[in-house]
Amino acid sequence: MHRNCETIKFAVISIPLIRFATAQDAHAIAAMSRDYIEQGLGWSWTMARVRAVISDPCSNAIAIGARSAIIGFGIMQYSELSAHLALLAVHPDCRQRGLGARLIDWLEQPARIAGIERILVEARADNPRAIAFYAKHGYSECGRVVRYYRGLIDAVRLEKRLAVPVHESRSVL
C-alpha cells in the first residue's frame, strides 16, 4: 500500500543562525550602530572601529543574517573579571521575535564559562526600551554617567552578576 505523501505535513521552523561577524560585515554593523544606537550623537562606531573589534581576540562580534542583509548583531568585550556589552541591535522590522534575547544569551555564555563575575553595559538614558530589555535579562542599574554620550546624553550603567561556578571539593584518601 502506497503512503500518500501529500497527507504528511511538515512544520518548518525557521530559526536564524547566529554566526561570528567577519571583516566583511564591518560596514553593515557600523551602519546599524549609527542608525539604531547612536542616532543623534554622531558616529563613534565607525567601520574601522568595528573591524578592529572583530579581529580583537578578547572580543566576540556576532551577527544574524547574510553579509548584505544583517538583521541583528552584538559585540561583547571580555576581560579577567568582567565583560562589557559594547553594542547590541536588531533591525526594527525584526524586533520582538526573540533575536535580541538570543544574541545576548550567546554573548553571555563565554563569560559564564570563563568564570567572569559581572557584565557591564551602558544604555542611553533616553532609551527606556533598551533599559527595560536589559532589566528583563537580569541587568540592574548600578549608576548613571552624566553626559556620557558626546557630552549630550546621560548613560544608565547596568550590571549583571554571574553565578561563580562552584567547584566540587575533592576528598583526599
Q: Is residue 127 a contact residue for ligand COA (CB under 6 A)?
A: yes
CB of 162 to ligand COA, least distance (A): 19
Q: Degrees (nearest 5) of the Cα angle 148, 79, 74? A: 60
Residues 7-36, interacting with ligand COA (CB under 6 A): 36
Residue nearest to ligand COA (CB): 100
Residues 138-167, interacting with ligand COA (CB under 6 A): none
CB of 18 to ligand COA, least distance (A): 12
Q: Which stretch binds ligand COA (CB under 6 A): 2-10, 12-20, 54-62, 84-92?
A: 84-92
Q: Which stretch binds ligand COA (CB under 6 A): 8-16, 48-56, 85-93, 143-151?
A: 85-93
Q: Is residue 97 a contact residue for ligand COA (CB under 6 A)?
A: yes
Among 2, 3, 9, 129, binds ligand COA (CB under 6 A): 129
How far apart, in whole angstroms, are the C-alpha atoms of residue 89 and residue 20?
15
The residues of the shown chain that bind ligand COA, judged by CB under 6 A, are 36-37, 87-90, 95-101, 123, 127, 129-130, 132-133, 136
